[in-house]
Amino acid sequence: MRCARRRNRSFASALAPSQSGVRVVVCSGGPIAPTAAGIGWSGEFIVVAADSGFDRARALGLRVDLVVGDFDSLSDEARGELERMGAAVERHAVAKDATDLELALDAALRFGPAEIRVVGSSNGRVDQAFGELLLIAHPKYAGVPIDLVTEDALVHVVRGSRTFAGVPGATISLFPVHGDATGVTTEGLLYPLTDETLALGATRGVSNEFAAEHVEIAVAGGVLIAVRPL
């Protein structure tokens, strides 16, 4: 399937886009922070909506290329707009073995993206929020940098190494997922880590701070989730 790419306004430097390759924005149905709602993205990208994420995309002024899901939570107004817009539709049964967000991420992966950015969150449900954090760090997405913009945080998946821009004093927490993270080394944090192991379930990486405008986080083995409260 070939979808048109879109141009939008510049996104925050904390989520600076990749320099090459297509980027895919995946919109879920939950809210995002007011500070992020009007920022948008510069350059070209594809928009994939997970069911009611179509409403979220419309609220952000994004034109959707593909809508994925069982359509159990899509508003009547959105259904009419979807038909007028002519976006591609990938419909799934209500009884299925994956969430609409996972199906949308799988669809995004088929575009061969250089970067995926998930916009939205879990509408306050702890089970869904926990599932989303584990999902974006799933091994099947290992080849693509993934960020999540929620109502109250920026979340980054760290494999290998990544660099983030920020403000000195801003909070950042590091959590290993799917097992221990080994060989964790950071630059630019107030409490630096050097070739350390962050054990799954421990709180060693909670509430660190930016000590510089750019922070590099590297992990030799395993996967980290970096959470930055807004």
Q: pLDDT tens for residues 61-76? A: 888 999 998 887 777 7
- Averaged pLDDT, 175-181: 97
| Model confidence, pTM | 0.84
Considering the domain architecture, whether residues 135 and 180 belong to the same structural domain is answered as no
Q: Residue 54, SS3? A: helix
CB 9 within 8 A of CB 42: yes
The confidence score (pLDDT) of residue 215 equals 98
Give the chain's mean pLDDT. 85
**Beta strands at 88-91 and 66-69: parallel, antiparallel or unpaired:** parallel
Considering the domain architecture, whether residues 116 and 182 belong to the same structural domain is answered as no
The upper half-sphere exposure of residue 207, i.e. CA atoms within 13 Å in the direction of its Cβ, equals 2
Please calculate the CA angle 136-141-145 and round it to the nearest 5 degrees. 75
Q: Which of 151, 180, 204 is the last residue of a domain?
A: 151
Structural domain including 173 reads: 153-230
Considering the domain architecture, whether residues 21 and 67 belong to the same structural domain is answered as yes
Could you read off the pLDDT of 130-141 as tens digits, one per residue?
A: 999 999 999 999
Considering the domain architecture, whether residues 137 and 157 belong to the same structural domain is answered as no
Could you read off the pLDDT of 105-117 as tens digits, one per residue?
A: 999 999 999 999 9
Distance CA 59, CA 211 (A): 35
**Beta strands at 214-229 and 153-165: parallel, antiparallel or unpaired:** antiparallel
Domain of 219: which CATH number? 3.40.50.10240
Residue 195 pLDDT exceeds 90 = yes
